[in-house]
Structure 1
Amino acid sequence: MTNDFPQVLTIAGSDSDGSAGMQADLHTFFMHHTYGASVITACVAGNSFGIHDSVSMPVSFIDNEFKDLAEDFKILACKTGMLADAELINTVVKNYKQYDFGPLVVDPVIMTKHGNMLLEQAAYDTLKTELIPLATVLTPNFYEAQKLADMEINSDDDTMEAAKRLRALGAKNVIIKGKHVAGETDVVKDYVLLESGKDFWIEGPYYHTEHKNGTGDSLSAAITAEIAKGTSIEEAIRIADDYVDKAIKNEIEVAHKFGPINHWAK
């Protein structure tokens, strides 16, 4: 039957080296037995040594991507990745409200895993006030959680308080990815606060590898795929966390420096 197969959508940039962004999302969708479509918001020229150029898509083009997908596909869940400026974020918000693309997983690409800011203030403010309130699941890293919650996180209690503040921004469910620093971290602890009020920690070992590009993209994509298949939010998060853990643990030898995770690991 037409459109019976679970279909999902990534709203993100294209990463030319395939390690992150739209490409990592599509790898993950495939491994979770869903059909992945994409709304490309930007294109990045880069490799394992770094990013060397980028270009944003015109908003009229992004509008047409949404329109064409809505006319033909049955998107059951979608996710966002890197959204470079306020105009682009507003365009995504407008289209998500216009079309029925199911629950939204927001990967708030605000800061790097090393704490460096990625967005200008106007884009950050728009993401916080316009996009996050639409999130079924919000998946910030440690530094993004600190920024969005407007507080330092120095303990488990701090993490739990930050998650409550992120829920107060409008996100229904929150997973705060634990801080991980080479030489300082042996165990990585992710904290989950669900819409029901239930909360829990997911712990795993820290893997000493430079093949970690695309971990955040892949986690949010796996959650999206599982939601589209009818998996509960809690179980979707647990499955996604386990998937990314295996993808980091079982390295794939690709590129020279900061390489991709192994999306095919089981």
Structure 2
Amino acid sequence: MNEKRKMRHYTRVVTIAGSDSGGGAGVQADLKTISACGCYAMSVITALTAQNTVGVSAIHPVPVDFVRQQIGAVMDDIGTDAVKLGMLYSSELIEAVSGQLSEYRMKNIVLDPVMVATSGEKLVRSEAVEALKRFLIPKADLITPNVPEAEVLLERKISTRDDLEHAAEQLSELGCDNVLIKGGHLADGSCSDLLYLGREKKSLWFDADRIATNNSHGTGCTLSSAIACGLAKGETLAEAVRLGKEYVTGAIAAGADYQIGSGHGPVNHFYRFFNS
């Protein structure tokens, strides 16, 4: 008699974000990261960008209803164990995504409030910032702004590690208890990130030395996706952040000496598996 085979299950992570035609950031970076971290990657594309290592030359928003259809297609059939939210171009899109997060009762939501590309181009409409605060930040389990994004959300400057700690506490008051501020833009020469756990009122620093490289495109997307993978696998938030920081630091180091394009190149997402 043939026994019925016991089927295995993937750990599933969906990214809801914009596409980067250059492959270094956005959905492309997310899919690489999720795969490299041992999870099954799915995508909902919110905008198309004409983009390379030098900059963003055009943005084409995906119609909001089609974004809804993409989310429905993924969730009605496959489901997910974690969600990474990236580039959300308009307030209408943010409100629609917020509604579907609730409708499908999605969990382990990591929100990377993408506002500006590495090259400096603005990636969201101005009114989208307020919609982000109202509709999405309160639904997230973790938000992961860098210093410029935290400054936009709080409407003030952040210059020191002390500023970073105060900013994290203020950001948690927007409705998401847990805040990870990426400190790579600080002028102290480090790449230290601060995780603030709002319910415990506890701050954890994750320190790393700055790596001398121009290949920093997509590091924020990569880190937030790696953290989502850790949460999907059942890690605590602090451990998921530690593992995500370890992964992205290794990816930056492994990609530091490569030349691709003439601007900000990507990190090496698959450095744990191969180096060409």
TM-score under structure 2 length normalisation: 0.90
- Name the counterpart of 1:174: 179
Aligned runs of 1:1-266 on 2, under 5 Å?
Answer: 4-112=9-117, 117-180=122-185, 185-195=188-198, 196-251=200-255, 252-266=258-272
Query: Post-superposition shift, 1:157?
Result: 2.1
Distance 1:13 1:80 in 2: 9
CA contact (8 A) 1:75 1:100 kept: no
**Higher alpha-carbon Rg:** 2
Q: C-alpha separation between the residues in 1 aligned to 2:128 and 2:184?
A: 24
What is the one-letter code of the residue matched to 1:95?
A: Q
* Residues 159, 191 of structure 1: 8 Å contact kept: yes
Checking the alignment, whether the CA contact within 8 Å between 1:17 and 1:47 is kept in structure 2 is yes
Q: Secondary structure at the match of 1:204?
A: coil
C-alpha distance in 1, partners of 2:7/2:95? 32
Structure 1 residues 24 and 5, CA gap change in structure 2 (3 angstroms): same
Letter in 1 for 2:194: Y
8 Å CA contact 2:25–2:218 kept in 1: the answer is yes
| Identical residues among aligned pairs (%) | 37
For 1:263, the aligned partner's letter is: H
Give CA deviations for 1:121-144 in whole Å, capped at 9, x if unaligned: 311110111111111010000111
Give the distance between the partners of 2:214 and 2:229, measured in 1 at CA. Answer: 26
- C-alpha contact 2:109 2:139 (8 A) present in aligned 1: yes
Gaps of 5+ in 1: none
User: How many residues are aligned here?
Assistant: 264
Q: Is the 8 Å Cα contact of residues 81 and 232 (structure 2) preserved in structure 1?
A: yes
Q: Is the 8 A contact 2:118 2:264 kept in 1?
A: no
Rate the CA distance shift 1:192–1:114 in 2: closer, same or farther, 3 A.
farther
- The CA deviation string for residues 17-48 of structure 1, in whole angstroms up to 9 with x for no partner, is 11000000000000110001111111112222
SS state of the match for residue 115, structure 2? coil
Q: CA deviation at 1:257?
A: 2.2
**RMSD value, Cα:** 1.9
Quickly say closer, same or farther: Cα 1:229–1:114, change in 2 above 3 A.
same
Partners of 2:57 and 2:226 in 1: CA distance? 28
Counterpart of 2:192 in structure 1: which amino acid?
Answer: K
Structure 2 Cα separation of the partners of residues 211 and 233 of structure 1: 27
Task: Report what 2:3 is aligned to.
Answer: none
My pick for the range that moved more, 254-263 or 90-99, is 254-263
List per-residue Cα deviations over 1:38-70 (Å, max 9, x = no partner): 111111122222222221111111111111111
